[in-house]
Each structure stands twice: as structure tokens, then as C-alpha cells.
Amino acid sequence: MKAMQKVIVILGQTATGKSALAVKIAKQIKGEIISADSRQVYKGLDIGTGKITKKEMESVPHHLLDVANPKKQFTVVEYKKLAEKKIKEILARGRVPIICGGTGFYIDAITKGIVLPRVPPNQKLRKVLNKKTTEELFDILKILDKKRASNIDSKNKVRLIRAIEIAKTLGKVPKITEVEPLYKFVKIGLYFPAPKLQKKVEKRVREMFEAGLLKEIKKLKSLGVSDERLKKFGFEYYKPTPEKVITKTIQYAKRQMTWFKRDKQIKWFDGKEYKNIEKYIKEKL
């Protein structure tokens, strides 16, 4: 029986150094990086999403950055299709795909062979739901489907609206089915103790403001990206202070870890353990 081809996954909370680690590993194992970040897919969302720069890439090929128009929603179904295509292309070149990011649903869609329901968007319903708070949306979903409500990010407005949309179209949110993955996924999780992570988040946020975050948001608005879309990207709390961004980012990091903790296939490492991570990956390849 032919051995399954290997794909590396580097995941973890925001500000844990995933991108830098992925570049280091890629240079060691002839890898190419596939982003798994639900905001970095959009063009023009650079500073506010902590998107890796050309210089930081160090000539390592990166994929699925800047592939979507920020005026339009980019779905996990679209992401899964593009990511699977990139994995095949990278393997065909004799190189190692490295999925890197912090969007748990994107990573699960690829690594767990998730089959997602294909329900077209209902713009009329979305317009109504967008006026509601995340708490109100979560209550609606609990009425429609308690099971789906139990494993969704209750603070993610986009996902809540989509789940309600699917439930209203199909009668309920269908059970997400999984098929046998085509590849062997080696999952590496980066973590830092909470006090250390908080300091890293604070440092990153202040650097984002210094780098021109508010100008980036202003530019997006000038290009026709609506306030509604900006809110979906989390930019409503970038006005007016770094302190609010820090608080929201730490809350987001906690939700990320809640999601990742459900996956028992992840091998966790302290963010500073580069040598141990490199050794572990080489043993698994």
C-alpha cells in the first residue's frame, strides 16, 4: 500500500510566531506555505491582519494571501477548493505543503476532510441578521439547532449568520460530514503562557498602529469597502484606541485556543522551541 503524502500544519493563537516559524521550517524541508487565515485572504488587509511581508517571506513561496476582494464574502467552501488545489500542485513539484494559520475552521476543512453544505447566500436574510448583535444571533441559532450552536464561535458574526442562513434554507444546519483525508497531516501547535501572550499581543497591536493601521482602514473605505464589511473584519474596534484592540485580540486568542483544544492530533510546543519542532517534523516526514 502506497504511503500517504505528508502535509505540515502550523497553527496556534494570534501573535505566537506561526508565520516566522513556517518560513524557517520551509527553508529546511523545501516547503511552500499555504495561509489558513480568514482575513489574510483579502487584498488590502495587511497591517490589520498581521499579514507577512515580502521581506519576511525570505523568498519562500506563499499561497492564498490576497486572493479575495474585501467587498465580497469569501467562504470556507472557496478556501477549501483553492487550498486543496495548492496542496496538489506543491506535492507535484516535489515540495512539502505547509498550512499555516489561526483560523480553526479553515484548518479543519482541509485536515479533517469536511464536506460542507452548498447553500447559496440569501442577501435579504443577511441584511436583517446583520442588524442583530452576536448575542441575539447566537440565541436564534440555539433555537434552530442546539447542536450547531454548541460548537460554533459565539462571537463570530459571519459564522453565526451563515449557520442561521443554512438552517433556514435546509430546515436545520446539517451535520458536517467528514471523509477520509487524502494526506497525512502533521499538526504543530504553538503556545505561550497567557501573561507572555498578552505582552506579545500588546506589542503587536502598538506596532500595527505605528505602521499605519488607521490609514489602511481609511484606504479600504475609500476603495468602497463598506462599514458593514469592515465590522466583519473586526475593524470597528480599531477606533479609537490600541487598548480596545488589545482587549478584543486577547478575547479572540482565547476563542482560538478553545477551538484548537478539541483537536487531539495537535502536538503542542512552546513558541520558543524551534529546535524541538524542527526535529519533530523531520521525524514525521
Report DSSP letters for 42-55, one per residue. BTT--GGGTPPPHH
Q: Is 265 labelled a binding residue?
A: no
Contact 42, 74 (CB under 8 A): yes
Contact 48, 213 (CB under 8 A): yes
Q: Is 50 labelled a binding residue?
A: no
pLDDT, position 40: 98
pLDDT, position 167: 83
Q: Is 234 labelled a binding residue?
A: no
pLDDT, position 177: 63
Q: Is 16 labelled a binding residue?
A: yes
pLDDT, position 239: 67
pLDDT, position 161: 92
144 SS3 class: helix
**Topology of the domain covering 6-115+181-284:** Rossmann fold (3.40.50)
pLDDT over 60 (residue 185): yes
The CA distance from 162 to 136, in Å, is 14
pLDDT over 80 (residue 73): yes
pLDDT, position 176: 63
Q: Is 169 labelled a binding residue?
A: no
Instruction: Report residue 275's pLDDT band, with 50, 70 and 90 as the boundaries.
Output: very high
Q: Which of the residue ranges 22-36, 65-79, 228-242, 270-284 would you say has the lowest mean pLDDT? A: 228-242
Q: What are phi and psi of 239, to 5 degrees?
A: -120, 120
Instruction: Report residue 244's pLDDT band, with 50, 70 and 90 as the boundaries.
Output: confident
- Residue 223: partners with Cβ closer than 8 Å, 6 or more residues away: 44, 70
pLDDT over 80 (residue 114): no
pLDDT, position 88: 98
pLDDT over 60 (residue 24): yes
The CA distance from 223 to 266, in Å, is 40
Instruction: Report residue 232's pLDDT band, with 50, 70 and 90 as the boundaries.
Output: confident
Q: Is 15 labelled a binding residue?
A: yes
Provide the phi-psi class of 131: left if phi over 0, else alpha when psi is between -120 and 50, else beta.
Answer: alpha
Q: Which of the residue ranges 83-87, 109-113, 221-225, 240-244 would you say has the lowest mean pLDDT? A: 240-244
User: What is the mean pLDDT of the segment spanning 263-271?
Assistant: 96
pLDDT, position 172: 59
- Residue 47: partners with Cβ closer than 8 Å, 6 or more residues away: 208, 211, 212, 213, 216
Q: Is 17 labelled a binding residue?
A: yes
pLDDT, position 229: 87
Q: Is 247 labelled a binding residue?
A: no
Closest CA to 161 of 195, 122, 198, 196: 122
User: Residue 224: how many CB atoms within 10 A of its CB?
Assistant: 10
pLDDT, position 238: 60
